[in-house]
């Protein structure tokens, strides 16, 4: 007799921006598509969700999207059974009625907190440890990460093959970019820019504009646009706007769905990314990158930044690593990066090789969805 499918509930509260929903939506889809699980995703902010999944109907309390049952997190919690596996993303607080439903199950569910991504060493020691308990139900810490002994990174099956095929196919790239209205000049380097507000941007754009190599800068609609507009000397910027300053062309792109954003990263020679999910996607693109880390109280994000740099740069020469570290640290501190950019450009082939090598090394780890499923198997 066929076994009933395991039911998974994922809970997401959108704190700000798109990372919370970006990560949980990606995970939910992968669990449903690749592990044949019954997945419900509870989200409190469907408007943020709609930005990365335009098919979503924000007026519906329940709907199916790409094999996942999407539920709007209600104010009044309906009577519902708790699932076999419950994932609270980023320490979000579950509704008390749902916690009671978990405790009432004959066999308690596996309850996990999916934590934020960090390259810090302590993550290995904390991954899989028990957290709080509610009645008979024990919560467990599940940490994504870059090192063996962590939960790994989200990576869909066949992702790197798709990426490689696309990067080896100039015609597919041309068509993809053209559909977004992007037609780079021959020989121009393509850079994507997804970042928080950053006072250090102007110095980078100064250097790109004065460069002998033309640059086509693609800026998805978002928080950095104000800084770009100020540098251009225009009042505001909107999707489709196109401005040229010497060797630099700046184009504003619409916010696209997640898989298209991947393709954008794959097309670019260099990607500036932020937060958590786009940061991981840029690593899978195998191209040099720049991370605008999400700021946290008491500057604890700076430790996270350095922990990542120490791992990511370990295959680089001392000089190249110093150049890259200088660039990344200045960018996340909002300091001018023009000179750091010029310094990093001296080591370009090395940075390119390192980006691909890092991507391949990370792909040797089990992906996060598979690691979660394996964790559940071991647990039962």
Residues belonging to the active site:
20, 276
Q: Which of 6, 9, 12, 18 binds ligand TRH (CB under 6 A)?
A: 18
Which helix (H) or strand (E) element contains residue 304? helix 300-312
Site for ligand TRH contains 220 (CB under 6 A): yes
The minimum distance between CB 269 and ligand TRH, in angstroms, equals 17
Site for ligand TRH contains 145 (CB under 6 A): no
Residues 6+ apart with CB under 8 A from 249: 184, 185, 188, 214, 215, 216, 217, 242, 243
Site for ligand TRH contains 22 (CB under 6 A): yes
Give the 3-state secondary structure percentages of the chain, helix then strand then coil, rounded to 5: 40, 20, 40
Q: How far apart are CA 272 and CA 193, in angstroms?
A: 5
Site for ligand TRH contains 294 (CB under 6 A): yes
Site for ligand TRH contains 16 (CB under 6 A): yes
Site for ligand TRH contains 194 (CB under 6 A): yes
**Judged by CB, which is closer to ligand TRH: 108, or 226?**
226
Q: Which of 9, 84, 277, 350 binds ligand TRH (CB under 6 A)?
A: 277
Write out the E strands in 237-318. Answer: 242-245, 248-253, 270-274, 289-292
**Judged by CB, which is closer to ligand TRH: 27, or 209?**
27
Site for ligand TRH contains 197 (CB under 6 A): no
Q: How far apart are CA 282 and CA 355, in angstroms?
A: 9
Report yes or no: 91 and 116 within 8 Å, Cβ to Cβ: no
The minimum distance between CB 274 and ligand TRH, in angstroms, equals 5
Q: Which stretch binds ligand TRH (CB under 6 A): 15-23, 93-101, 235-243, 319-327?
A: 15-23
Q: What are the residues facing 292 on neighbouring strands?
A: 274
Q: At what angle do helices 277-285 and 348-362 cross, to 10 degrees?
A: 110
The minimum distance between CB 257 and ligand TRH, in angstroms, equals 6
Site for ligand TRH contains 258 (CB under 6 A): yes
Residue 290's nearest CA partner among 301, 278, 299 is 278
Count of residues of this chain found to bind ligand TRH when the rule CB under 6 A is applied:
22
Q: How far apart are CA 275 and CA 259, in angstroms?
A: 17
The binding site for ligand TRH (CB under 6 A) comprises: 15-20, 22, 52, 194, 220, 255-258, 261, 274-279, 294
């Amino acid at each position: 007799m066929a076994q009933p499918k395991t039911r998974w509930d994922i809970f997401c509260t959108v704190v700000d921006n798109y990372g919370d929903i970006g990560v949980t939506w990606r995970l939910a889809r992968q669990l449903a598509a690749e592990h044949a699980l019954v997945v419900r995703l509870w989200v409190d902010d469907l408007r943020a969700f709609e930005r990365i999944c335009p098919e979503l109907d924000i007026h519906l309390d329940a709907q199916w999207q790409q094999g996942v049952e999407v539920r709007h997190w209600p104010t009044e919690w309906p009577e519902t059974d708790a699932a076999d596996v419950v994932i609270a993303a980023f320490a979000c607080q579950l509704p008390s009625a749902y916690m009671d439903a978990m405790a009432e199950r004959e066999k308690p569910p596996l309850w996990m907190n999916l934590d934020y991504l960090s390259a810090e060493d302590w993550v290995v020691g904390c991954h899989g440890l028990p957290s709080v308990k509610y009645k008979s139900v024990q919560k467990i810490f599940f940490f994504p990460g870059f090192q063996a002994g962590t939960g790994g990174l989200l990576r869909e099956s066949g992702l790197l093959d798709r990426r490689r095929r696309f990067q080896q196919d100039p015609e597919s790239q041309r068509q993809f970019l053209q559909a977004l209205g992007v037609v780079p000049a021959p020989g121009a380097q393509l850079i994507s820019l997804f970042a928080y507000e950053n006072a250090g941007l102007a110095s980078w754009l100064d250097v790109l504009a004065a460069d002998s190599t033309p640059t086509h800068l693609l800026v998805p609609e978002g928080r950095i646009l104000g800084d770009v507009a100020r540098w251009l000397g225009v009042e505001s910027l909107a999707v489709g706007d196109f401005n040229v300053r010497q060797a630099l062309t700046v184009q504003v792109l619409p916010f696209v769905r997640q898989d298209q954003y991947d393709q954008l990263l794959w097309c670019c020679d260099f990607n500036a990314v932020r937060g958590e999910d786009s940061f991981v996607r840029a690593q899978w693109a195998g191209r040099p990158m720049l991370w605008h880390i999400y700021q946290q109280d008491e500057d604890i994000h700076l430790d996270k930044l350095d922990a990542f740099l120490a791992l990511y740069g370990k295959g680089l020469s001392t000089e190249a690593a110093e150049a890259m570290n200088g660039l990344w640290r200045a960018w996340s501190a909002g300091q001018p990066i023009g000179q750091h950019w010029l310094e990093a450009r001296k080591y370009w082939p090395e940075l390119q090789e390192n980006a691909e090598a890092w991507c391949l090394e990370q792909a040797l780890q089990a992906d996060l969805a598979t690691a979660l499923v394996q964790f559940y198997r071991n647990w039962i």
